[in-house]
Amino acid sequence: MSNKSIRFATICALAAAVISGTNNFLTKIAVTAVKEPILFTTLKNSLVAVLLVGLFLLFKKWPEIRSATKSQFIKLFAIGAIGGSLPFALFFTGLSKTSAINAALIHKTLFIWVLIFAIPILKERMNKLQWLGVGAVFAANLFVGGFTGFKYNSGELMILGATILWAIENIIAKKALRDLSAITVAAARMTLGSLLLLLFLILRNGAVILPALNPSQWGWTLLTSALLFGYVLGWYSALKYAPATYVATLLVPATLITNILSVIFVTHSFAAKEFVSAFLFVTGIYLIISLMRKTESGNPVNEIRPVAFKTLPAIPETGFMDGVLRCSRYAFGPNRLHYCGPDANQEIASYINEGVSDPGLAHLLKQFQTMYPYLQHIAEANSISNPFEERVVEAYWIGNDLLENIKTKKFYHHLVEGQQIKKKVGAKSFELIAEKLEQGAVPHHSFHVLDIWKRTGHLEREHTLESMDECRVSWGRVVKVDGPLIIVLTRPLRYIQGKLFLGEPAQKKLTRRLESTYDIEQINVGDLVSIHWSVPCEIITPRQAAMLEKYTLRHLELANQTI
């Protein structure tokens, strides 16, 4: 995860906090003016949904929906139901029954509930000083002006229920955002949520009759809709590029904004405790932001202890079909997500299912504009006529001695002319990449992922920590086989103090079948498998795992020179 991504996420989260605090204050007035809270919420959310769908179409995000898996659709529906409908009805009904400050205090316990869920489910971590920052932020809420104590009425309970549902939504959204854009997830949330709210109103009333809103009521509706649009977009954008615990905590200062507005327009009094509250907020947020780099645990890259694959019992060579078919297994993962190659994931899956290849499959693979030129370059450097010859395919995805025959000067020209990397990343950035060629960089897949920090397939944007970890070919030992699911012990990519490294082995769940029906034959506990975009590609030997580790660590070390 780059510093630039963290800065972007931080700005988005803090902007969402300002918008949320303002919206909490104004919505209290708006929901009172419009009278019917659920109808008001449905109308407001529908307007936001229209704006987000427009943004979705403007930025041409439809391919994400078209290529979404069943699991992704389930996540999007859950986000719409759990985050975009029921909690809104609960929150705004509750808001009409209690004060804006009490509502804001309850809503800002969101970060506590996110911490409770994210630490065991998402495996997120926080260091001791960040916990101190969280404590300061929590304490700041106890000093808000105008707060006279909770009433423990139905309104407060409704807002608490909405807050817990939104915390659950954070966890689901974080998982969905690994493969989908913030615009797509936000549009799905508000569109599905609005439809569910509309259905609720129809079932309750038999019909939905929009009241004749006066200009003042329309003004409040449009204003709060615009604020909600900015909040949702900022929140999801931050959540995509930073841990859920971090984003949720940065939303807490919204209470301070609500408090300031209440002091100015309602209570007209500013006591010493407001200063204490502000100080605690600033101190806590400073600790959380400044220590963000230390939220991942582990050792620096130069202290990595290699996994002792070579000490494990030998596993026979798989004799894996042919190079074309073998390459298709690695290409399938990103292709099904429409990240690389032609729109042909079903055709590629069919070849894998049948276990055969022909010129048609080779033709499909030649359309992978990043992968195939690398294969051509490796083959040419080793005087091999067929870029899909099995040793060439293995060299690119796993690593072997063919990579050591690559000439630096020719590799440089290949990156400029064959891959057009200089054009894609800019001359200044390319010079940083070019310097690594003299230090041992080779055309292994890990080089392109870790040292060319911008995706160069269909999505030309910077990698996140999560996308780099998914995109690099990793390896793992199978510890459990359960039907289509396997659990592997693998070393995830971590980031600490400005450096990337492989963390300690951790369990990861993989779905073998995904939306296709192909499988790795006779996979057993104890087997080593290679993994690409959470797809198990093939059973590999300890020697191949050691090669994959060797080139991954080499390119990690080179990447850390320019992060």
Max CA distance (Å), the chain: 82
Least confident piece of the model among 31-35, 202-206, 220-224, 372-376: 31-35
Tell me which DSSP letter residue 489 carries.
Answer: E
* Residue 269 in this model has a pLDDT that exceeds 70: no
* Residue 479 in this model has a pLDDT that exceeds 90: yes
Confidence band, pLDDT 50/70/90 cuts, at residue 226: very high
Nearest to 103 by CA among 54, 37, 45: 37
Average of per-residue pLDDT across 62-90: 85
pLDDT score recorded for residue 379: 93
* Residue 461 in this model has a pLDDT that exceeds 60: no
CA 271 → CA 144, 268, 276, 548, distances in Å?
Answer: 10, 10, 9, 62
Confidence band, pLDDT 50/70/90 cuts, at residue 270: low
pLDDT score recorded for residue 208: 65
* Residue 497 in this model has a pLDDT that exceeds 90: no
Confidence band, pLDDT 50/70/90 cuts, at residue 148: low
Average of per-residue pLDDT across 143-172: 82
CA 97/CA 301 separation, integer angstroms: 55
CA 495/CA 501 separation, integer angstroms: 6
pLDDT score recorded for residue 308: 32
Q: How many residues does the chain have?
A: 563
CA 70/CA 62 separation, integer angstroms: 16
Residue 496 host element (H or E): strand 493-496
pLDDT score recorded for residue 300: 33
pLDDT score recorded for residue 238: 92
pLDDT score recorded for residue 516: 38
Confidence band, pLDDT 50/70/90 cuts, at residue 35: low
